Amino acid sequence: MFRIFASCVLALGVTSAPVLAQASPAKEEKKEAPKAEKKKLSDAEVKKRLKEKKTTVAFEDMALKEALAALAKAADVEIKLDEDVASDDTVSVSMSDTSVESILNMIKESLDLTWEVKDGAVLVKKAQTR
């Protein structure tokens, strides 16, 4: 009887192995959940975050686009570049425990830019020449 039991167990083990092998690739396929859209911030909330969020940066000849992306992440706000601003201009700024607003102002001065909060985002553009 033991032989019959052992034969049944072996037979079951052999037939279930391919089933398990077929089932595991399905587990590996992970569908990405759709990303939730970020709630649009009010201009007042954006200004508040720029003043209150402090960060430390060490931008050494970094592309403006990358530097602004880092600041946007630090303040959890959207920062857009106007089409007339060269996104590959480089910036060098090193500041510790400083508000994002102050860092933006430093970048603004070094590259002759200006920025404003408009429609729930920061818009960086060229300074007006007089």
pLDDT in tens, 62-74: 999 999 999 999 9
Tell me what percent of the chain is helix, strand and coil, each rounded to the nearest 5: 45, 25, 25
Residue 55 has pLDDT above 60, yes or no: yes
Say what the pLDDT of residue 87 is.
85
For residue 130, the model assigns a pLDDT of: 57
Q: What is the pLDDT of residue 40?
A: 87
Q: Which residues contact residue 17 at a Cβ distance below 8 angstroms, ignoring those fewer than 6 apart? A: none
| Radius of gyration of the chain measured on its C-alpha atoms | 28
> What pLDDT score was predicted for residue 20?
42
Q: What pLDDT is recorded for position 30?
A: 55
Of 108, 41, 52, which is closest to residue 77 (Cα–Cα)? Answer: 41
CA distances 12 to 16, 40, 71, 96, Å, are 6, 58, 60, 66
pLDDT in tens, 97-128: 999 999 999 999 999 999 999 999 999 999 88
Q: State the burial class of residue 46 (Cβ atoms within 10 Å of its Cβ: 0-12, 13-18, 19+).
A: buried
User: Region 30-43: what's the mean pLDDT?
Assistant: 68
CATH topology of domain 43-126: Phage tail protein beta-alpha-beta fold (3.55.50)
Per-residue confidence (pLDDT) for residue 47, from 0 to 100: 96
Q: What is the pLDDT of residue 75?
A: 96
Q: Over the chain, what is the mean pLDDT?
A: 81
Give the CA count within 13 Å in the CB-facing half-sphere of 115. Answer: 27
